[in-house]
Amino acid sequence: MFSWAFRAGGGGAVHGSQALAGLLVLLAWGGNAQAQPASPEYAPEQVELDYLSSAGCPSKESFVREVTARIRRPVDWVAADGRVLVALSLSHTEGLATGRLEVARAAAPPTLREFTAQTCGEVASALALVVALALDPNARTEALPEPPPAVPVEEPSAPSAAEPAPLPAAAPSAAPSEMAAPLPTRRESPPLHLVAWLGPVAGVDAGYAPKPLVTFGVSLGARVSWGSWLTPTLQLTPLWGKTGSTGPAAALGSFSWAMARLEACPVDLRLAPWLGFSPCLAGEIGRLAARGTEQGVEPTAAERWWAASGVTAAVHLELGNWFVRLSGEGMFPVIRDEFVFLEPERTVHRPNAFAYGGRLGVGFRIGR
């Protein structure tokens, strides 16, 4: 007969010295459109700018002035609900300045660019040219003239003692500090990006049972990013799988799993704008069922809890709003109960200390 016997189970950088080459690349990226005079019939483009920069980098106002100086069509810079969203972050650490740019339009995937140089000014100018070409293919690509040097204002002749002349002169000195004070607070709110996805998944694993375990399920995941190298990702995948029959002599046993797997990924490494790589920690919990048969004996079944932990690594290809995800896994079963036939006692299977496999998923994603 077949019965359940429980035995204790075990546990693209561009450096400052290459600024000229970087600008040439930007000009090529700007498009194949030939420069033509701007049409006066253009309606103003509604552009929303999310701008984040560290101390010592050009201000948002300076960046807007440089973009405006290059484009030949009217643009309205709005605080929200723009037809074009421009998200830009500038940082300067350890002698290198880095800029990350994302330009998004409605019903189109976002365009990502990242540059590195020795100074924030070089990075900001390069990204300003990218934004100008994105807004206007006929934008000016030549070097902009240097701003004229500040002309010192001559002090007026000393007034008579009866005139309180120094008092009006004190007011302009206070105005710049009042205008500059709000800027640091505005730069502390980087743009937040959320992506969610849903789709079917299928896989094959070895080590769970005597024969390969084929599983099917549905994956549901979400990823958050805010301009930092951290991009936390969570994915929940309910799975169901079953093996073929196995066992000594004429006795047979089949195994099936119903479980849920949770994967937590701290980073999403971008190999290309459309290709990413995610290393993850994984855990799974569920129920393991075994069914045994022998000639002349009514089939019997037994169920036990199942749990395992391990790591996964996934490569995901993004095609617009669709994705393809290919992952590999290495799992360490926490519960390793043993299946045996009695009379006489014969061991059928005990899960290995290490299980491995691969999984393929496709689906639809929303967000950016």
Q: Average pLDDT of each block of 10 consecutive residues along the chain (368 residues)?
A: 43 41 43 44 80 88 90 87 88 85 83 88 90 87 69 52 51 45 51 88 88 91 81 92 63 79 92 91 91 63 88 93 94 85 67 91 88
- Using CA atoms, how far apart are residues 168 and 188, in angstroms rounded to an integer? 35
- Strand ranges, E, within 226-296: 233-242, 252-265, 269-272, 275-294
Q: How much is the pLDDT for 118?
A: 86
Q: How much is the pLDDT for 168?
A: 53
* Residue 3: alpha-carbon gap to chain centroid: 49
Instruction: Decide: 335 and 303 in contact? Cβ < 8 Å.
Output: no
Q: How much is the pLDDT for 45?
A: 81
- Using CA atoms, how far apart are residues 269 and 317, in angstroms rounded to an integer? 12
Reference 198, options 220, 169, 177, 181; nearest CA is: 220
- Residue identified by tokens 């995948």 is 237
In one-letter notation, the amino acid at residue 250 is A
Residues found in the chain: 368
184: tokens are 């640091």
Reference 190, options 354, 286, 60; nearest CA is: 60
For the chain, domains (ranges, CATH) are 16-147 (3.40.50), 192-367 (2.40.160.20)
What's the whole-model pTM score? 0.48
Q: How much is the pLDDT for 341?
A: 67
In one-letter notation, the amino acid at residue 23 is L
232: tokens are 């936390």
Reference 113, options 144, 89, 92; nearest CA is: 89
Q: How much is the pLDDT for 3?
A: 45
- Residue identified by tokens 């880095």 is 98
Which ranges constitute the DSSP H helices of the chain?
A: 19-29, 60-70, 120-135, 166-180, 183-186
Q: In whole angstroms, how far apart are CA 58 and each of 40, 97, 123, 359? A: 31, 12, 10, 47
Reference 327, options 223, 203, 206; nearest CA is: 203
